[in-house]
A and B are shown apart, each in its own frame.
Chain A
């Protein structure tokens, strides 16, 4: 080991341990001694980038890159730097260059392949792998090339005829392999998937029928899955069913897919074009009957398969007698009602006629028994769930629902006795009864808009949680209810108690952060929600830094079956809708927290434009919310959405357009400067044809479907913002400084700008809507205060007015400069704008004052008493005690007071800040 090598060790250790600064210090010392050492410079730039000193790192990085080194250690260090900066294209050219210089270096070949893989350029990656296979004669490179071809074929941008060609290429390559594919299950899988795509079923069959092929399919689930697909594609439903029967009888296999295979043989799926095989039905029925009889309570498959068979027969054309299905449903309930999933199992089969439904409900009634054991309790819960599911619309009134809640609560009280001995880490057996009651109460509110029901639900669910501390679904329900009730701090407490980590931030953060600006106190300096937004977004950084590493590992380890799904996972997180919804909320909060100056405007302008180009994936998990609402009613999740609207992709796109337009007006950025500000690669635009239109056109395009996700007030805000922007656009266009040329601003008076000055349009008077909006929304607010509305609705209106004020500030920031006004003769415009601003600020001031007052009201004993009184129907000295409810009342009232006062005071602060400005 050389002296330098020894000195390098501590630098690597420091980088590994996260002591980036000390790594930089050590590098500096050594660079003095070895001023031309590229590795030291690369490591130093890595240390700098990791300590966020990007500007310092860039010149160093460029210097090392320019040297075009082939040294392994230096390249690796550079790769880490470039990856952190998101410059994957530079990684590609760096390795490509090095590999060109040393074509015998296998390692460089591998790195170049991975560099292309990371950018999704499978075409070149495939070519490199082919070359490497020829050169280094290693089989796995041939398979890398095959995977490259398949991934290229699966790319949406690849035309269909090219797709077939690529599969044919992959087929030739596998056939040319010196060793057969069945030596590894993963290679075998690749081979099969090619044959499947090319419909080379005979060849596939030969592989599958071989001894080794059979053996692979018996242990490898992915291979067996392909086998099943291939058999089905060949129409071999009967053969597949025989195989499934063997597995079920001989291997005791109870994989539901095997049962479905048998049913498919009698009722082939529509896409097969095959007719139902009526002869096969009795025999199939016998088979399942036998299994159901042998298994009894032990396994549900046989009986459930019988139900599925009858159901399909009915759907296919009424060959089945409804009494058979009814009898089976009853039998299923009798045998399996003590299993928690009984309700979920039967739900798909309960599309019964009125008379049949009544009969079913009566049967369920007869199944209730006294609560002596956990089994009785689970059975009773299933009775309730199934009966509730089948409730006809005529029996859904607030009073009836409230009565049902009372009966669920009675059973809950009794059921709790059975779980007294359970440790705190266990769920209470009776939890579902309280959840049912909570859902009935929320449905009562949904039907009547009577808030007392929501308060009862909150008190009951809080009680449930006090008895069953790890009942996460109860927390999820409470989060939704507290947001509706304008008590967001309590919602956030429950959200945090869920202990959401890593990838769950993507799927579950919508519970806390959807339209979170409504509750944010950022205007008063409280950045709780802004920080929550940033923390939640960490997972996207780990995705872009780490996931591609595992794609390369899967190549190394030849785990080919995983690669497409790794790529899908990476893309779904990278382009996650929730990611950008959170980003949008964060921008909205920045606008009320920070001064609206070019730093904020330019940065967010660039980022929001990138988001507008994305194709989004919605990974938000809504199914996690329990739902026991009657069939035909909106689910609990839908009923408890804030303002009754789901802020999804449509909402995001409207907000993006609104903010981008305002920022575009406010910003002096031109394309050249923008490119310099952008650190990493520009993300690939999605192939959506709308993305090909010029930005201005896209921003002005309206889309009713998108707008349907907005609340009434949001839609008004959007229309107001559009009118304002249309009005001001011509003046922005003349007053904006001309684009920079080679980074130098052209001096005023030369070239374009003087010509534009002449074009300054005459000032148009203020469009009516720009002022009327504030009157409109303010009177809505006053009407809402008068009527008994949810506090969240009041918060919504005030925060929308507040948003209008901040957007107005952004739209008019350019006209603050007296010289701009003078040069372009805009003083009349400025006068009109002043009037609008005064109007906006007064509106915000008055509504905020009223909000503060409402907040104060929640601090009184009367308000707590009103809460407790509203809960009287569920107060029970032996269950939900009066004092318990009083405590909840206090918490809710405190949280409401804090939020309403806080948002109100923040609104006052903003109105006075911008009124004076």
Chain B
């Protein structure tokens, strides 16, 4: 339960309770403005009844022909509002817009292979691993988790325009690609 509203530039002045978090990156202002000036409908915020920001999602639409899809760039929920189903609401909002407005074939996102909590959550939302991207988070070097730390899973969920579920596959975890191939 919360208020869902479009994200706006001035939210940057009040998102500290979400962004003071080890997993959430604060980008330069041009990053947020670039998204808001192109895909404002794929960026939205959840607010508590008291007006505090609880979480946000930012996404974009990209790809050619049957690869045309919605992409989740950032999804973050403040620590005090976790485990309450906010991510699900934010994701379904993004899926809804990707489907209805952008007519995408699927929605995808990247997640660190070690982040089992997140992977499980996305699986619960209907996403599945499409491929494993090598050294996607490579700038961090190999951490405690070995390869899993720097590799990413590209996870996808088909939308209504892909009723045959052509955008997903069963053995995605075994399909390896390099970071150059996807970016």
Contacts and interface: CB of A to CB of B under 8 A. Distances in A.
Residue of B13, B34, B36 ringed by the most chain A CB atoms within 10 A? B13
Contacts of B89: 254
A427 B28 contact: no
Contacts of A568: 9-10
Residue of A219, A341, A345, A559 ringed by the most chain B CB atoms within 10 A? A341
B138 interface: no
B29 A539 contact: yes
Interface string A516-548: 000000000000000000000001001100110
A362 interface: no
B13 A621 contact: yes
Interface stretch (A194-202, A499-507, A686-694, A877-885): A499-507
B1 A299 contact: yes
Interface stretch (A220-228, A386-394, A660-668): A220-228
Majority SS at the chain A contact face:
helix
A470 B22 contact: yes
A569 B12 contact: yes
B48 A341 contact: yes
B173 interface: no
B125 interface: no
Nearest to B23: A425
Interface stretch (A22-30, A62-70, A93-101, A549-557): A549-557
A304 B49 contact: yes
B101 interface: yes
A225 B5 contact: yes
Given A470-B22, A504-B16, A300 B1 contact: yes
Interface in B1-30: 1-6, 8-10, 12-14, 16-17, 19-23, 26-30
B50 interface: yes
Contacts of A502: 26-29
B97 A255 contact: no
A623 B21 CA distance: 16
A624 B84 contact: no
Contacts of B23: 425
A427 B79 contact: yes
B166 interface: no
Contacts of A347: 50
Contacts of A344: 48, 50, 52, 80
Contact of A553 (B27, B38, B84, B100): B38
Contacts of B96: 219
B94 to A, nearest CB: 12
Interface string A204-242: 000000000000001111100100000000000000000
A565 B49 contact: no
A221 B9 contact: no
Nearest to B54: A341
Measured as residues with beta carbon below 8 angstroms from the partner, the interface class of chain B is 35 or more
Contact of A185 (B14, B34, B41, B83): B41
Given A559-B40, A562-B37, A256 B52 contact: no
A599 B17 CA distance: 42
Contact of A550 (B8, B17, B33): B33
Interface in A178-207: 185
B28 A506 contact: no
A347 B50 CA distance: 10
Contacts of B2: 254-256
Nearest to B29: A503
Contacts of A506: 13
A637 to B, nearest CB: 13
Nearest to B6: A221
Contacts of A619: 13
A449 interface: no
Contacts of B30: 542, 546, 549-550
A339 interface: yes
Given A550-B34, A623-B52, A185 B101 contact: yes
A508 B16 contact: yes
Residue of B1, B4, B8 ringed by the most chain A CB atoms within 10 A? B1
B41 A221 contact: yes
Given A340-B81, A341-B80, A572 B10 contact: yes
Contact of A219 (B17, B41, B50): B41
Contact of A566 (B36, B41, B81): B36
B133 interface: no
Interface in B94-130: 96-97, 100-101
A254 B84 contact: no
Interface in A475-490: none
B152 interface: no
Given A340-B80, A503-B29, A562-B9, A624 B20 contact: yes
Contact of B38 (A225, A557, A561, A623): A557
A273 interface: no
Contact of A559 (B28, B37, B82): B37
A304 B100 CA distance: 31
Contacts of A550: 30, 33-34, 36-37
Contact of B36 (A221, A427, A504, A559): A559
18 contacts: A185-B41, A221-B4, A221-B6, A257-B4, A299-B1, A304-B1, A341-B81, A500-B26, A501-B26, A504-B26, A542-B30, A550-B33, A559-B38, A559-B40, A561-B40, A562-B36, A566-B33, A623-B52
Given A503-B29, A566-B9, 16 more contacts: A254-B89, A340-B81, A340-B82, A425-B22, A502-B27, A503-B12, A551-B37, A553-B33, A559-B38, A562-B9, A566-B36, A566-B37, A569-B9, A621-B13, A623-B14, A624-B20
Interface of B: 1-6, 8-10, 12-14, 16-17, 19-23, 26-30, 33-34, 36-38, 40-41, 44, 48-50, 52, 79-85, 89, 96-97, 100-101
Interchain residue pairs A-B with the least CB separation, the first 5: A569-B9, A550-B33, A301-B1, A472-B20, A554-B37
